[in-house]
Amino acid sequence: MRVVAGVVLAAAAVAVVPGVASADDPEFPRNGVVPPGTYRITRNPSNVVGSPVENCDLQVFVDGRTVVLVCGGSSRSGRQAPVGPDETYATFDGLPYGLDLRDIDPRQGLWSGTLNIPGTPILAPYPLAGISLFRR
């Protein structure tokens, strides 16, 4: 009887663990929104050309919608809009380009992406404009 009970418990544990392991972390849900904080924008390793937003900061506010792109002494306010469970678009006032970002590891504040043309599905290829974000 103990052997049967042990097998049943082991089977139940194996059946439950994958569901728990893949569940969203409540602190960092996969909702396509970059969590609040300041992120350093760097060149993605596949990017051989560079990016106009390289070495800038992306500041995300607590409301999860408002963002500011800070490059040197200038800044542009903008908005982020989730487009999937691990993807968001960030657009900036007065700029002809935005950011298409995908989460790599939201717990560590890691995101990657490329430039896009706001309001269109047009994305710059990673070798030309790929970027990475790291939470500061």
Does residue 28 lie within any of the structural domains?
A: no
Does residue 21 lie within any of the structural domains?
A: no
Q: How many CA atoms lie within 13 Å of 58's alpha carbon, on the beta-carbon side?
A: 35
Please name the helix (run of DSSP H) or strand (run of DSSP E) that holds residue 101, with its range, or none. strand 98-105
Does residue 127 lie within any of the structural domains?
A: yes
pLDDT per residue as tens digits for the range 66-121: 999 999 999 999 999 998 888 999 999 999 999 999 988 867 788 999 999 998 88
Does residue 18 lie within any of the structural domains?
A: no
User: How long is the chain?
Assistant: 136
State how beta strands 110-116 and 131-135 pair.
antiparallel
Could you give the number of structural domains in the chain?
A: 1
Give residue 108's pLDDT: 78
Give residue 26's pLDDT: 57
pLDDT over 50 (residue 11): no
Domain of residue 82, residue span: 37-135
Cβ distance 71 to 87 under 8 Å?
A: no
- For a pLDDT cut of 70, what percent of the chain falls above it? 77
Does residue 131 lie within any of the structural domains?
A: yes
Does residue 54 lie within any of the structural domains?
A: yes
In a 10 Å sphere around its CB, with 0-12 CB exposed, 13-18 middle and 19+ buried, how is residue 54 labelled? middle
Does residue 14 lie within any of the structural domains?
A: no
How far is residue 31's CA from residue 85's CA, in Å, rounded to a whole number? 4
How far is residue 31's CA from residue 24's CA, in Å, rounded to a whole number? 9
Find the CATH number of the domain harbouring 84: 2.40.128
